[in-house]
Amino acid sequence: MKNNETVTFNFGEKSISLSASDFMNGVSSTEGVNANLAMTVDASANYATNAQEYFTRAMIGDEATRTKFRQLLGVKDRVKLGGVTTTGINVKPYAAVFNPDDTTVTQKEYVVQPLMWGTKFDVRSLEIAFMSDQLAKGSNNFSDSFAFMTFFYAEVEKRIKEEMELLTFQGVLATDGVNGLEVILPAAAGILLPTAGNGGVASAVTQANVIDKLKQARTVVPKAIRKHSDFVYIVSQNVFDALADVVSEEKASGLYYLEAETMRFQGREVYLADGASDNTIICTYWENLVNVMDLMSDEVGFNTVDFMGTTLERSIGIRADFKFQPSFVNANEIYIHLFA
């Protein structure tokens, strides 16, 4: 149809004549376009019957490894832990002259990194999608009190928790805003690493060598920390799988695994860290790792803002700000195996 051509529709005694220009003149070039959105409505969701249920994607895991660490909360910028080194005190033969041994008072500083996340969507994108019949009547007011938004917020929360698990281990300051344990630990003075002299350098972990790798970690760490009740091997998925394969195929359940309980190696917990890179083994005790934050719930305690009430922009913004830094206490009581 050309702009000057018209089409007439007859409805009994009434008729309507329309031309292409009637449609073009009434619509601006930007109306209905998701020009500044982080939420994109896929074509499959447009003008469809309202969904009765929603599907989700599998995440890396539900556990947050950092919840098992020592918790340092309420930190806005930095905090310090005090300690004392008493290893210089020794029992010695009697002497009339007092000959004291030295102790050393120490202090360790932890600095949190400020982080944030956010998303934004145009209210129009919801009006033309499958959840349109859930929206409140009227075009000037938006309320998030409908079924899809409850589902949406839950999915956002799951995604943020997944990101936090990854950042705990793999975070890089320059790109993620915070360094994870896989960056911090290898660079720490006194950290225990695999070498040719203590059992072999780091390499890919497989079913063939996983037992030797765990034995190396056990042997390298100080014997004293192996007596801690919270002594643990924190491992990546491929290391965990390799050990599980050994258990399954060699039926070594008496040595490596207790049926219906936590995976163990020689009686000690082997914890699967969903956020760790392949071939990662961290051997220490839980209280030696630190989760430094302001509040544990800050990263999912987001704020929702209707921009219509401020800038007259017909969009909704969601944002959360929080502080976070995974860290440790004593480097010489941590063994870490990394291999890229």
Q: Say if 149 falls within a structural domain.
A: yes
Q: Which domain holds residue 125?
A: 61-77+108-337
- What is the distance between the alpha carbons of residues 263 and 235, in angstroms, rounded to a whole number? 11
* Partners of 46 in beta bridges: 129
The encoded tokens of residue 26 equal 């009434």
Tokens 């619509």 -> residue:
27
Give residues with Cβ within 8 angstroms of 112, minimum separation 6.
75, 76, 77, 78, 292, 293, 294, 323, 324, 325
What's the structural domain count of the chain? 1
Q: Say if 253 falls within a structural domain.
A: yes
pLDDT of res. 301 = 82
Q: What is the pLDDT of residues 67-115, one digit of tens each?
A: 999 999 999 999 888 888 787 899 999 999 999 999 989 888 999 999 9
Q: Say if 87 falls within a structural domain.
A: no
| Residue 248: CATH number of its domain | 3.90.1690
pLDDT of res. 3 = 52
Q: Say if 33 falls within a structural domain.
A: no
Q: Say if 2 falls within a structural domain.
A: no
Q: What is the pLDDT of residues 47-73, one digit of tens each?
A: 555 666 666 566 666 668 999 999 999
pTM: 0.78
DSSP 71-101: EE-S-SSEEEEEEEE-TT-------SS--PP
Q: Say if 90 falls within a structural domain.
A: no
Q: Say if 100 falls within a structural domain.
A: no
CA distance readout (Å), 235 to 161, 165, 303: 19, 13, 35
Question: Computed from CA positions of residues 172, 173, 178, 179, in that sequence, does the dihedral angle turn out positive or negative?
Answer: positive
Q: Three-state SS for 156?
A: helix
Q: Say if 10 falls within a structural domain.
A: no
Between 192 and 316, the more confident residue is 192
